[in-house]
């Protein structure tokens, strides 16, 4: 297995974040505790959770069960701003973040992300609270998720602390050229969610061919394609110990420029996996 230091770090605005993290959406209960602990034991140093996932308690438990020191692990959580869909009583980001810290049993997170834009709350207010969370020391870094191009510009305009990170759906079928250029414009780190597209492209002949050539699995090829792109982080989710290991074992080979291009060429229309009713109007 790779060592933790084999995983590249993505840096942006003073933030330094391991390029592969363990995703935890739909990872619940003891399975979440065990998969987070296993990931950290085999070398991951980055956990991706959210208030919305209902597993912050378990992510914190997994971190402690792993035996890895807290300050060696990059912990991201996400908050919703404005009226919470799940709990209308909690309508501000700062108390919601304090609750997240209590559930995680941590004094701070490394990264706090606005999970989804909320049409009921002006972006200016969302960003003001996010920046305040950083100033109060609840989080070391701040970021956004599921923002459109115009929303990113607006968020950057109002940010009084470096807005260093954006997390969006990205996999070989989904073209994100415009939003990735927007991230580059502001020197933001890019994190891909659904980074293996839940396995959708694993049987693509191009991916199977490249996997054979490198003696790797399709998942490893797709994840390598992710992290070989500029400032790109991937947070694959798995609760299966062998897959957790497989998804981290991608630092001992390199895809050629031609292989990278072949995988990128798989992009096609209507490839989004995640588009809930409250999603913004996507630029594509
Ligand atoms: P992924 O693309 O990470 O796919 C996860 C699925 O693929 C699971 O069913 C998992 O199964 C399976 N899998 C994992 N590894 C392998 C492998 N090596 N071979 C075959 N199958 C595999 O999708 P997610 O939606 O989970 O996205 C990843 C993470 O991104 C989330 O967990 C979450 O942390 C974040 N996210 C953020 C969003 C946002 O709005 N900001 C939205 C969606 C996700 P199993 O677990 O059974 O092994």
- Sorted by where each starts, the structural domains of the chain and their CATH numbers stand as 7-198+225-255 (3.20.20.100)
> Which of 91-105, 198-212, 226-240 comes out lowest in average pLDDT?
91-105
Counting atoms of ligand 1 from 1, which one is nearest the CA of 247?
Answer: 18
Distance 8 CA to ligand 1 centre (A): 20
Check pLDDT > 60 for residue 227. yes
The residue-averaged pLDDT of 27-40 equals: 98
User: Quick check: CB of 46 below 6 Å from ligand 1?
Assistant: no
Which of 270 and 91 is assigned the larger pLDDT?
Answer: 270
Ligand 1 contacts CB of residue 35 (under 6 A): no
157: helix, strand or coil: helix
Pocket test for ligand 1, best of 20, 24, 25, 282 (most atoms within 8 A of CB): 25
pLDDT of 84 higher than 60: no
**Is 274 near ligand 1, meaning CB less than 6 Å away?**
yes
The residues with which 192 forms a beta bridge, in sequence order, are 168, 234
User: What's the number of CA atoms in the CB half-sphere (13 Å) around residue 271?
Assistant: 21
Q: Is the pLDDT of residue 68 over 80?
A: yes
What phi and psi values does residue 283 have, to the nearest 5 degrees? -70, -30
What percentage of the chain reaches a pLDDT higher than 90? 90
Q: Is 193 a catalytic residue?
A: no
* DSSP state letter for 52: G
Find the helix or strand (DSSP H, E) in which 57 lies.
helix 56-66
Q: How many helices (H) and strands (E) does the chain have?
A: 10, 10
Distances (CA, A) of 37 to 58, 88, 91, 115, 234: 10, 32, 32, 24, 18
Contact 125, 81 (CB under 8 A): yes
Q: Which ligand 1 atom is at minimum distance from the Cα of 239? A: 46
pLDDT at 157 over 50: yes
- What does the pLDDT look like over 128-140, one tens digit per residue? 999 999 999 999 9
pLDDT surpassing 90 at residue 87? no
Residue labelled with tokens 């109002």: 158
Give 248 Cα–ligand 1 centroid separation in angstroms: 13
What pLDDT score does 82 carry? 60
48 lines ligand 1 (CB under 6 A): yes
Q: 113: closest CA among 125, 127, 102, 103?
A: 127
């Amino acid at each position: 297995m790779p060592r933790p230091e084999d995983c590249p770090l993505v840096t942006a605005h003073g933030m330094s974040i391991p390029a592969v993290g363990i995703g935890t959406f739909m990872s619940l209960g003891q399975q979440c505790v065990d998969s987070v602990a296993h990931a950290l034991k085999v070398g991951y140093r980055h956990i991706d959770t959210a208030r919305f996932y209902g597993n912050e308690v378990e992510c914190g438990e997994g971190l402690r069960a792993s035996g890895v020191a807290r300050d060696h692990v990059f912990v991201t959580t996400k908050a919703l701003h404005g009226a919470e869909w799940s709990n209308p009583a909690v309508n501000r980001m700062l108390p919601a973040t304090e609750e997240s810290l209590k559930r995680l049993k941590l004094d701070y997170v490394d990264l706090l992300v606005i999970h989804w834009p909320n049409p009921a709350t002006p972006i200016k207010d969302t960003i003001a609270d996010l920046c305040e969370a950083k100033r109060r020391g609840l989080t070391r870094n701040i970021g956004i998720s599921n923002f459109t191009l115009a929303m990113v510009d607006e968020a950057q305009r109002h940010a009084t602390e470096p807005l260093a990170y954006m997390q969006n759906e990205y996999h070989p079928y989904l073209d994100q050229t415009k939003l990735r250029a927007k991230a580059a414009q502001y020197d933001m780190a890019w994190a891909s969610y659904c980074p293996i597209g839940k396995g959708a492209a694993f049987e693509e002949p191009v991916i199977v061919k490249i996997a054979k050539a490198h003696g790797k699995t399709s998942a490893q090829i797709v994840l390598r394609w992710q992290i070989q792109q500029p400032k790109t982080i991937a947070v694959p989710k798995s609760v299966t110990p062998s897959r957790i290991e497989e998804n981290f074992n991608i630092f001992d080979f390199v895809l050629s420029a031609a292989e990278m291009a072949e995988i990128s060429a798989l992009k096609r229309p209507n490839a989004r996996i995640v588009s809930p009713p409250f999603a913004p109007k996507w630029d594509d």
